[in-house]
Structure formats: C-alpha cells, structure tokens
Amino acid sequence: MRILLWHVHGAWTTAFVHGRHEYVVPVLPDRGPDGVGIARTYDWPDTVTELPPEALRDEEFDVVILQRPHELDLMQQWVGRKLPAIYVEHNAPQGRIAEMRHPVADRDDLLLVHVTHFNALFWDAGATPATVIEHGIVDPGERYTGELPRAAVVINEARRRWRVTGTDLLDGFAAHAPLDLFGIAADSAGTAARAAGDIPHADLHAEMARRRVYLHPIRWTSLGLSLLEAMHLGMPVVALGTTEVHEAVPPEAGVVSTRVDVLGEALRRLVEDPAEARERGSAARRAALARYGLERFLGDWDRVLSEVTGHAEVPA
C-alpha cells in the first residue's frame, strides 16, 4: 500500500515505517510541525519519501494516517480529496476527563486507533469505531552493561512539563541514587539530576544502557516509548504505577508503585546491587520483546490497514 502520514512522533513513526509498504511524509521548507519530512535523528528505511504539499494532489494513496485534528483539513487542502482514514491517538486525555470528548468522536468516516488500552478506556469517542494497537519498538538490541551506578531518566522539556512528567520528583529520587537526565532542554530542568543532554537516538540507547537502572517518574502519559526502549536494552525499571505502566512492566522486571518512598528504596537497592539489576533487566527485555516487539506491531497494523482499505492482507 501507499500510505500518507505526517511525521509527528519520531519513535512511533520509526516503528510504523518499518512495515512492508510505501510511506509518504509531507515536508515544508522550514521543516515545521506540519512538514517535518524524513527523520534526521532516527534510522528510517528507503521506502519513505518526503514530498511538498503541492505535489500531493498528483499522488495516489491507499490510506491516510491522521494524528492531529487539523490534519483532516490539511488532507483536504493538500490532497484535495478524501482518503480512507485512520486516526491514531497517541495521548491520554488532558483536563476534566469525565467531560472530555475525543476530537473525532461520533464519526463514521474513519477508524480511531489507540496506542494503549488505557487511552481507549479514558477517551470518550462516542460511536466512532475504535481499536487498540499497542506500541512496537525497533529492537535496539540487548546493550545493557550497567557499568555506571546511576539511574537514567529520559524527559523532553522537563522543566516546562514539570508535574506531568514528574520532574518535581527528581530531587527526592536523587537523594537515593545519582540521576542522569536525558532529553530536550535537560540542562534547564532545574533539578538535582545531572543534565546528560539531548543526543541522537542511537547514541541515547548506548548511554542509557551504561546506567544501572531506568527511572520512569512520569505521572500522566500514554506510555513513554523511552520506557519500552529501556526494557528492550535490558535495563531494570523503577516506575510510577500510573496510566499503562503496570501493564507494561511485570513484577520481575523492576518495581512499579504509586508510593514514592517505595520507588526511592527500590532505586537505591538496584543501583547498589548489580546482580539483581541485571537479573531484572533480563526479565524486562523478555517482557518487552514478547508484548512490544516490532513483528507483532506491524502485523496488527497490516490487519487494520487491510480492513480499512479493503485490500487483501499480504502474507508475511
């Protein structure tokens, strides 16, 4: 199939474009949010093409993947016609949840795909047909060494997002173990965590894997892909037990709790005990490969794409 989609979330898109299709992403001269084009910090296959908006009208597409409400208008403006459509919801709802309606609620002209069962539970989409396709990760390999008795934390714009990402908890966790904070604007987070910078994706994996444990302090997110990447690397996990985390991290892979004191003690113990850390990290990798492996993810997507477009599913 030939699929049109916007490059919105780098890690998710990286997994998606590793499928058996052709992918087109819009590109603008400034590579702004509506025209990022092909990723520069992720490894994408050559089945991905970037095209400017004015070229899209002359192209044939089997389906469009939408990820933001205004992309419905962009499709009409840039493509000039309706296409079979799938709307991917990456985020948990924000605000007064009991009163919120999904932006594509009560539509019969598209399929809504949630990336976690938590999202599907919390979003009210009315009569819009919906399903769940859980995340998949391009396996970075078992790279864990745990040579540094420190914890890795990955948060983009940690200071701006503060309580949502648990940035306010980092000082307390730093009292139990030294922390290295990776991500966009890490150097301005204003916490006791050491700023480790915003580094390319491949380099990030190598640096994460040198730390003894992965700390996931995020209060409210769909399911952080950095958590799943850490598990794929073979890192043990200490994580807030919010949203989908308790589904993703089995007990043998680390410690998940809503009690900050329990997490702080677990962080200290794992940093001080390399043998336990390695054992739990191995369990984390096994769990991540079983549930969030790329083959399962792409297979789920092939089935949904076939249903929406009417094309027969091509055997792997």
Distance separating alpha carbons of residues 275 and 159, to the nearest angstrom: 34
The CA–CA distances, whole Å, from 88 to 6, 14, 21, 158, 235 equal 11, 15, 18, 25, 29
The tokens for 123 are: 């979003």
The whole-number average pLDDT for the span 244-254 is 96
State which fold the 2-136+294-309 domain adopts. Answer: Rossmann fold (3.40.50)
- Maximum CA extent, the chain: 60
Q: Give me the pLDDT at residue 184, please.
A: 87
Q: Are 263 and 241 a contacting pair, CB within 8 Å?
A: no
Q: Is 110 helix (H, G, I), strand (E, B) or coil?
A: coil
Q: Are 123 and 316 a contacting pair, CB within 8 Å?
A: no
Q: Give me the pLDDT at residue 250, please.
A: 97
pLDDT: which is higher, 223 or 5 = 5
Kindly indicate the confidence band of residue 314, based on its pLDDT and cuts at 50, 70 and 90: low
Per-residue pLDDT tens for 148-202? 999 999 998 888 988 999 999 999 999 999 999 998 888 888 999 999 988 888 7
Per-residue pLDDT tens for 252-278? 999 999 999 999 999 999 999 999 999
Alpha-helical regions (H) of the chain? 10-16, 71-74, 117-122, 158-161, 170-174, 201-210, 225-233, 245-248, 260-272, 274-292, 294-309
Q: Give me the pLDDT at residue 27, please.
A: 97
Q: Give me the pLDDT at residue 80, please.
A: 94
Q: Give me the pLDDT at residue 249, please.
A: 97
The CA–CA distances, whole Å, from 90 to 113, 199, 222, 264 equal 9, 23, 7, 29
Q: Give me the pLDDT at residue 202, please.
A: 78
Among the CATH numbers 2.40.30.110, 3.50.50.60, 3.30.750.24, 3.40.50.2000, which is that of 148-292? 3.40.50.2000
Q: Give me the pLDDT at residue 103, please.
A: 95
Q: Are 112 and 104 a contacting pair, CB within 8 Å?
A: yes
Q: Give me the pLDDT at residue 315, please.
A: 54
CA atoms within 13 A on the CB side of 181: 28
What single letter denotes the amino acid at residue 82? K
The CA–CA distances, whole Å, from 62 to 28, 44, 131 equal 22, 21, 20
Residues 6+ apart with CB under 8 A from 99: none
- How many other C-beta atoms can be found within 10 angstroms of the C-beta atom of residue 109? 10
- How many other C-beta atoms can be found within 10 angstroms of the C-beta atom of residue 169? 20
Kindly indicate the confidence band of residue 313, based on its pLDDT and cuts at 50, 70 and 90: low
Show me where the domains of the chain are located: 2-136+294-309, 148-292
Backbone angles phi, psi at 163, to 5 degrees: -70, -35
Residues 6+ apart with CB under 8 A from 70: none
Kindly indicate the confidence band of residue 239, based on its pLDDT and cuts at 50, 70 and 90: very high
Q: What is the dihedral of CA 115, 117, 118, 123, to 10 degrees?
A: 80
Q: Give me the pLDDT at residue 42, please.
A: 87
Percent of the chain at pLDDT exceeding 90:
84
The whole-number average pLDDT for the span 110-119 is 97
* Cα-to-chain-centroid distance, residue 49: 22
Residues 6+ apart with CB under 8 A from 254: 213, 214, 236, 237, 238, 239, 266, 270, 280, 284
Distance separating alpha carbons of residues 37 and 26, to the nearest angstrom: 6
Kindly indicate the confidence band of residue 94, based on its pLDDT and cuts at 50, 70 and 90: confident
Per-residue pLDDT tens for 98-107? 788 999 999 9
Kindly indicate the confidence band of residue 109, based on its pLDDT and cuts at 50, 70 and 90: very high
Q: Give me the pLDDT at residue 41, please.
A: 82
The CA–CA distances, whole Å, from 101 to 104, 119, 142 equal 8, 12, 41
